Structure 1
């Protein structure tokens, strides 16, 4: 008997998977309609689901407690579902709001995407739910449509004003590639990222910290970006040409807003430069751009923290070609591009630095570009 049958008393109609992600470069650009360059992790959220004949949604997480959350599709209200279940409930709500009449479902979730690590555990949960419900209801939604539903769920049901980077990465990434995504129209190109061929490894350093002010500060950063765009008379900061950045900054009176604008415009430019280097087979040369991006996130966007700075500085000093925080910031994870012969020494140095600072030991693992959301074979 499967776990699904033990919980719900019926066999599942199918199994679906959606990964977490690491963003190689392009941070806080997505809600400015800019450019990003994520890759999917091998860590994923997996859902087994059974279609119901009624309008009841029953949800259970194998990772959080042993309670089945039972909800009516006719009574979903933003802000009224608490905890982890708000994410799949929000997806069902967003699908219904988009005009898709759903039948109920029994869904059992399991995830090995680290939570609170800035690796998009919530987006993985949203996308796997959207894909399962799309298949169960024969909606035939595309990857961008699944991603948009996930973003709407997180923005309008859960109340987190995120961009669409995380959901698009989870829905669309391809094994062995990074996704060069234009978040304005969701057009993208899969860029080969074969690190092993160049003797490289991409390490993730999960600092295992998340500072309490993260969500409110994220919203303020977004508001400051919108203020910058308004001051410059453009729809979004992506519309400020890099070549005209200095002149644009001179027109902004507020110092904090000026710094936010500088980060976003230069970060879009860094994405373009990294893609050029990867296309040219020069992956080793992207390292300084990763570090440059971290400095911008630390100083201009002010979303780093001491633990992330320690991880980045230590990794670079120990032999990484470049490092940066990844994700929204204020904790979570950093990434480091490391020659394979230096993987052990970089990991050891970071662990010792955290121990010396009296911090919880970081979790360090390799980011391997993996496949996006999919239905798993029976």
Structure 2
């Protein structure tokens, strides 16, 4: 626990001059496999990180939402709930769009949510592809759900938060991040069908097999609202329309070659190829884990990175370098994780190689003139929860 997290209640009292009614938290995540499949109604397999966005909160009876973050400049942002409108309609609150969007989404769905004072402190790295925005959204949603007795189940909470990101903030993401933050459990990866939200907790204790999963934050920040993410989603939708299917998840792997032959746009063809093969890679990973063949997951991860790099074009030189160096030094597999254009990669390897691979990555980045990456272990952790009674 960081010093700022430990001191959260004191900060709430200092900022708002009263006591919080409780504290809630939601984690960041890494996605083991299944990238850019969620908005194509496909399959994903995330796991929650120990890194947490923590919020202390208390109700207000005047319809005012006040938000403050120890990680953001500018002090308290004060908003009127009745005046909330999406970013496209003029909201200009910066980071505050995320918690404001959750309150807006709850109220738009008919939930009786009043005002609140919220104070946030987070250990989830921002811009690292580890879903700091979903952690912020889900922690907000869980706090408001508890404070106002809404009784939402976790998938419903994730849906509310996804709507906040899509319609209020304006990022056309799928539901992977919010479901991971809301529904992951300690010691497991979450196998999720994003069409119907059917899910299964898959045991994922790598230490028992002498393995580790590292996260390598390249420190190349990404911004999913800059249009590149939306362009790929539009391309996938165009591919589904050209093939006459509801979503690319409906294109079978054994019919992929025939399907690609029906698409004229070469960029759209590449997008379709990635999504269909990535869904199959998720199926491969779940089958391998169910069979106890965890080591065989590594090459599937590396194949996924090649697809993200070559077909979907969302990698970057730093991410490619992580994969190249890690595999060259004996890792079982590696790939970028998250939306791309920067952020983080994951590396599956034997525990005896951790120090060697870490040192090799730091050296390779220095030789390439890149900022030193941050490397840490991904330990499957609990999803969103209340932190104090």
Q: TM-score range by the shorter chain?
A: over 0.9
Q: Match for 2:286 among 275, 281, 290?
A: 275
Residue 8 (str. 1) matches residue 16 (str. 2): yes
Aligned to 2:133: 122
Q: Tell me the alpha carbon deviations over residues 304-343 of structure 1, each in whole angstroms, 9 at most, x when there is no partner.
A: 0111001111111111100000000010000000100000
Contact 1:81 1:89 in 2 (8 A): no
Distance 1:282-1:344 versus aligned 2 partners, 3 A rule = same
Aligned to 1:75: 83
Q: Match for 2:27 among 19, 32, 38?
A: 19
Aligned to 2:64: 56
Contact 2:170 2:225 in 1 (8 A): no
Secondary structure, counterpart of 1:180 in structure 2? strand
Residue 65 (str. 1) matches residue 76 (str. 2): no
Contact 1:214 1:330 in 2 (8 A): no
Secondary structure, counterpart of 2:217 in structure 1? strand
Contact 1:18 1:374 in 2 (8 A): yes
Aligned to 1:334: 345
Q: CA RMSD in A?
A: 1.1
Q: CA deviation at 1:213?
A: 8.0
Aligned to 2:4: none
CA distance in 2, matches of 1:370, 1:142: 19
Runs of 4+ in 1 over 6 A off after TM superposition: none
Secondary structure, counterpart of 1:185 in structure 2? coil
CA distance in 1, matches of 2:222, 2:68: 28
Q: CA deviation at 1:52?
A: 1.1
Q: Structure 2: where are the runs of 5+ without partners?
A: 1-8
CA distance in 2, matches of 1:143, 1:184: 16
Q: CA deviation at 1:16?
A: 0.2
CA distance in 2, matches of 1:212, 1:46: 23
Secondary structure, counterpart of 1:74 in structure 2? helix
TM-score, length-normalised on structure 1?
0.98
CA distance in 2, matches of 1:243, 1:182: 20
Residue 37 (str. 1) matches residue 45 (str. 2): yes
Residue 110 (str. 1) matches residue 104 (str. 2): no
Aligned to 2:3: none
Aligned to 1:362: 373
Q: CA deviation at 1:5?
A: 1.1
Aligned to 1:151: 162
Q: Match for 1:84 among 55, 79, 95?
A: 95
Residue 234 (str. 1) matches residue 252 (str. 2): no
Q: CA deviation at 1:65?
A: 2.4
Distance 1:282-1:345 versus aligned 2 partners, 3 A rule = same
Q: CA deviation at 1:81?
A: 3.3
CA distance in 1, matches of 2:221, 2:133: 15
Aligned to 1:169: 180
Distance 1:211-1:117 versus aligned 2 partners, 3 A rule = closer
Contact 2:12 2:18 in 1 (8 A): yes
Aligned to 1:185: 196
Contact 1:214 1:329 in 2 (8 A): no
Q: Structure 1: where are the runs of 5+ without partners?
A: none
CA distance in 2, matches of 1:243, 1:178: 27
Residue 219 (str. 1) matches residue 227 (str. 2): no
CA distance in 1, matches of 2:224, 2:93: 19
Secondary structure, counterpart of 2:336 in structure 1? strand
* Count of matched residue pairs: 378
CA distance in 2, matches of 1:364, 1:212: 21
CA distance in 1, matches of 2:366, 2:224: 25
